[in-house]
Every structure is written in C-alpha cells, then in structure tokens.
Amino acid sequence: MKLSMLWTSAVAVLVATPLAAQQQDDPYLWLEEVEAPQALEWVTERSAETAAKLEAHPAFQDIYERNLAILNSTDRIPYVSIMGSYVYNFWQDADHEKGIWRRTSLADYVSPSPTWEVVLDLDALSAAEGENWVWKGANCLYPVYTTCVVDLSRGGGDATVVREFDAATRQFVEGGFYLPEAKGGVSWLDDNTLYVGTDFGEGSLTTSGYPRIAKRWRRGTQLGEAETVFQGAVTDVGIWGGVQHTPEGRYEIVTRAVTFYTSETHLRRGNEMVKLDLPADATPVGVFKKQLLVQLKSDWIVGGNTYPQGALLSIGVDRFLAGSKDFTVIVAPDERSSISGVRTTKNLLLVTMLENVRSSLHEYRLQDGVWTRTPVDMPAFGTIRLGGADENSDTYFINFESFLIPSSLYVATNTGGPTMVKQVKSLPAFFDADPFTAQQFEATSKDGTQIPYFVVHRRDLKLDGTNPTLLYGYGGFEISMEPSYSATIGSAWLSRGGVYVLANLRGGGEFGPRWHQSALKENRQRAYDDFIAVAQDLIARQITSPARLGIRGGSNGGLLVGAAFTQRPDLFGAVVCRVPLLDMKRYNKLLAGASWMAEYGNPDVPEEWEYIRRYSPYHNVHADRAYPQVLFITSTRDDRVHPGHARKMVAKMTDQGHDVFYYENTEGGHAAATTNRQRAYMSALEFAYLWQQVGGN
C-alpha cells in the first residue's frame, strides 16, 4: 500500500489577465491563447520547419526505429499494483498504442510467461466513442477492488473524465458515478459513497485552478446535493479529501494545501473534521498499525523534545488526538542522506534511503510499541524503488537499476522470519554496457558548496575535450535525480559515442529538505550556479568542451536550462528545453503556476520580482548576444505548464535574429507524448538535434 495523504495530481484552468491590458508590455501574449487559429497556424509552421530539418539528419531514422522497438518490446517489465487477488498492469505496445488495462494472479505474474486478462482496452474504447482517450489511472475500493473509477484524459492533459467501472464484469457501470472533464480527484469511502474534489461551478476552484471544496457524494444523488465536508480559501493551492483504508480501520482525511509546501490535515472523527496539530510544513505520510506517520521538513521543538529535520516519526493516532506529542523517531537522516520512499504491507513499514545518492532498503516492524529495523539485502550502487505492495500479506515488489544495469524486478516475501527476495523479471540489455563505466564526481558551486554528479562514459574515454556530452538536471521541488537505466539514452547516445551526465543540484531532494530549501525563492539562483559549476567542471576535467556540451531539461528543468543558456551561452553547444517555464513574470497567471509560488516567489510582489527577474529566461534573452541554436519542445495539450512559455520565447528570440528550433506536439499533456510512436519520434528529434549540434555531424 502506498502511503500518502491523498494528494491528487490535478490540472489547473487558465487564469489569465485580459491580454489587451498587457499587450503593450509583451507583444507575444497572443501566443498564450492555446487554440486560437492564429496561434495554431504559427505553431504548425514552426513545428513543420523543425521536423523537416531534424528528420533529415542521418541519425534520425535509425534512432527513431530503435527507440520504437525498445518502447514496443514485449520484453519490457510489466510493473504491477497488487489489488485483492489480482495484480494489475497498464501496457502499451505496437498492437495497443493507447494501451490496455490488464490483470493476472500474483502466482501467474511471477512465472516466466503470465497469461493476462484484458480489463479495459483504450484503443477499442477510443474508436467506439470517437475520443482520443489517454489512461490516467484507476481508483478501486479496498479490500476487494472490483468497484472502481477510472480517469480518462482527452489527449493526455491532466484534466480527466471520471467514470465508474466494474472490474468484475469489465464494464462501465450504467448510471454509475460520473464526473465531466475537470481537475481534482475522487476516493472511495464505501460501495455507495465517494469523496470528491472537482469543479463544482463558479467559485469552487482556487487561483491555482485546483478544487477549493471537498464533498462526500452518495450514490443515486446529484453532484449538487453532495455533502460539503470542507471548504478552503480561494488563495489556497487546493483542497483534497479522501480515505485511507487499512486492515485496522479507515481514516477520512482532508488536506488543505495552503501553499505548495505548507498544509493543514484534518481527520474525521464522528461528524467533525479535527485539525491535526502539526507544523505547517510537516508531511503526514499516513496511518499504519493505528500509528500516525509524519515526516518533518524542519526541526520541530515540542513537548520538551527536538525532532530533527527530515525525520520520520510515529505516534498512536488516538494518543495524538488526545494531546500527546511524545513521538517515536523511526528514521533520522544525516546531512548526506534522505528518505526517498515509504510504503507498507500488512505488517511491514518499508523505507528506502538515499545515502550520497545511493539507495538502500529497510524494513521496520512495530512490536510492543518499539520499531525494529532490518536491512534488506539488495545489489549495491544502484537505485532501489518500491513497487506494488500487498496490505493483506507481507509481499511486495522491489525494482533495482543503475545507469548500466537493466531494471530488475524482485518479489520480497516475509512470513515472520527473514524476508526472502527473489528476482522474477529483468529488462533485457538494449545496448552493450560492457565498454562503459559510471563515476561520481563533485563540482564546487559559486558559494563553495560541493555538488555531486554522475558521469557515464566509455572506459577508454580520452580526456581531450572532444567528447559529445549531454548534461541533465532538474534542481527543484525536492525531487531527487537518481541513477536509472535508460535504453534510449544507451542506444541513441552512449552507444554512438556520447557521454551522459546527471547532476544532483540544490533544489532537489537528494540530501533531504535542507538541500531543497537552500534553493527556494530568493536563493533560486543557487540551482543554476550548481548546474553551471558542473558544466565548468566537465570542461576543466577535459571530458568535454563548450562546443561539445549539450544540456537537457524539462518542466522546472526546462527553466533550469533556460536560465543556464541565457546566463552562460558560452558554455553550451546545444540546449533541449522541454515543456518549460520561461516567462517568470506571468507564470503564476498561467494554468497551475500560482501553486508554485512557494518554490519561485510571487512576481506580483515587487521585492520578489526583483530576484525573479534576474534569472527569468524570457526577460534575459537579448538580440546582441550569441546563443546556442536551442530546441524548444512543448505540447498543445499541456495543461500544467502553459505552452505559451515556449511559444513566446521562440517568437521573441526569432524576432531578435536568433536561429532556434521549435516543435509542439498537438497532444501529450505535460509528458508531450501519449503513445510509444510519439515518444519514439520526440526522442529521435531530440537526439538528432544533439548529434547535429555537438556531435560533429
């Protein structure tokens, strides 16, 4: 069972100020009108130009065909969730471009050739209904998991249509629960009741575009008749209500996200929602064995005790509600470690740790009020991620991978003694990794901070500055960049002579909340300084040179590479800027942008705009500077980061006389692609571009 406080990924609506009022200051505002004919004509022309140029590169077709073969390979690992007596998987391949939701038994799944039962075929559904449905997941009722709702997106955006589905009959329920396209989420209370967050009509959304109201909706009643459980402020990020089902009981929870990193958690007791007395930046992870689990983002001094930043704590729910603050510290990371994942089975609390960006896994068992820890023996020097777990037994899945070791899936089973771990599936080697090695280095950032990074390269690498090198980074939202096996990078980049680099920048979560918080708001420039420092270190080590160094990033990473190339265009020969934020003056007015002000700051506050404007790529690109020939990629259906960011940046740079590439997929959402064919194509465009710019061909 995955523990979370039911935070539902949602898409915000466009909150735009009248264009005419700001047109004088920004002549490209018309490109923010996503589906306006004039804007789409501009998009079509520029995308066609870029596609023609990059498809003509000698490497394009081979990379595309290899990528597609990898993505469609039936040898891929079908990752599953355990629900009742079945394991469920969503699968896409050449015969199922939109995908199938399928299931089998656990015993059959771990066999060499499982037999799958198709539960829902999205290709058939799309054809029958004349819709471009994209799978966004299913929510099924514990403990039988046959009463479900599925989330279907038109074209891949975050906004979904919610429809009730019977997994036993494999049919949509006639007259069942249904929500029209909106952002938000639902959670089952019982067979006849849902917790609902959606667009209930005027005034029901926050300025970030997320639900402001949580309701309980009874079967057979109209949505407008649903019971209001909680209402937040219009300036909140959002309100999410839901239910955590455990073997010991169920817990009705409402999370009020005041900002992206501060929240209130309310737990239902009888007919009352009781606010939990926790620090605003603490994260209630969930309830396990009637223990409330809480992860701290800052030191907490309470009840005569000091609980350290980053720690995972527990306390009995009833004792806590009665006023006790005598927590037990389960895990207390140090300055070079952090908790990367928490999950539970029936009797085990599973915790993955990052220690200097290397993974370990630990089982915790609660016995007579005391937590005991047992390390799980796994391969060293790679990334461990927890997969599906069974709340009715102590069976769970573990995925292990590294840059050069293909992903392997293990099943772990505990029956009261030592946990037995067995490898049951493995990804084939899609490229020959034998000639390569991975190393970890550190670069010194502008303020003296040591920034770790990984380099994957041939063992016989010549340190002469001529190696085509691709540097990837993110540096935001406490998201860690960990070693992973990428068949496409291996095939399209490493095997063709490239070097791959992964940077662990401040703003991420590699070393816990402190690492993240050190690059927030007025300190945002630190993440960009870190990235630039890694680039400089690669050049100083003669691994590469500016003419042979490409950088790549998406979303917040798109902002990262946008800031990097506008600040230090002399360091880079290529820039892949995917689904990026770039106009940091208006980001909080576009789609979900207002929810990220806790990360970047509020550009409408003069003091905060003063530091934001210094790195905002859209405001720091100039006609009299020479820049790399950047490739910008976005999606018309991206309803999380507005495509206007990339569109306007391209228009501005083009009018300044800079030569850039631009490609906008008409569907795909924030991922910029929805099918394997699209994913293979977009990747081939990027790598053809990189080889053209920094590969010397």
Residue in this structure with the two tokens 């066999």, named with its chain if needed: 111
Name 271's Cβ contacts closer than 8 Å, sequence gap at least 6.
none
Q: Which structure tokens are listed for 22?
A: 């700001």
**What's the distance, Cα to Cα, between the start and end of the chain in Å?**
49
Write down the catalytic residue from 153, 314, 670, 683: 670
| Known catalytic membership, residue 555 | yes
Query: CA torsion 545→546→552→556, rounded to 10°?
Result: 120
The question of whether 407 is a catalytic residue gets the answer: no
**Rounded Cα distance, 144 and 159, in Å:** 28
Task: Report the alpha-carbon distance of residue 595 to residue 306 in Å, rounded.
Answer: 31
Query: What's the CA angle centered on 555, arms 551 and 557, to 5 degrees?
Result: 35
SS3 label, residue 598 = helix
- Cβ-count burial 473-487 (b if 16+ within 10 Å, e if not): bbbbbbbbbbbebbb
Residues 6+ apart with CB under 8 A from 465: 539, 542, 543, 544, 545, 548
CA dihedral 509, 511, 517, 522 (to 10 degrees): -90
Q: Which of 187, 555, 595, 635 is catalytic?
A: 555
Separation of alpha carbons 522 and 599, rounded Å: 10
Q: How many CB atoms lie within 10 A of CB 335?
A: 11
Q: What are phi and psi of 300, to 5 degrees?
A: -130, 115
Other Cβ atoms less than 10 A from the Cβ of 231: the count is 16
- How far, in whole angstroms, is CA 600 from its chain's centroid? 18
Residues annotated as part of the active site: 555, 670
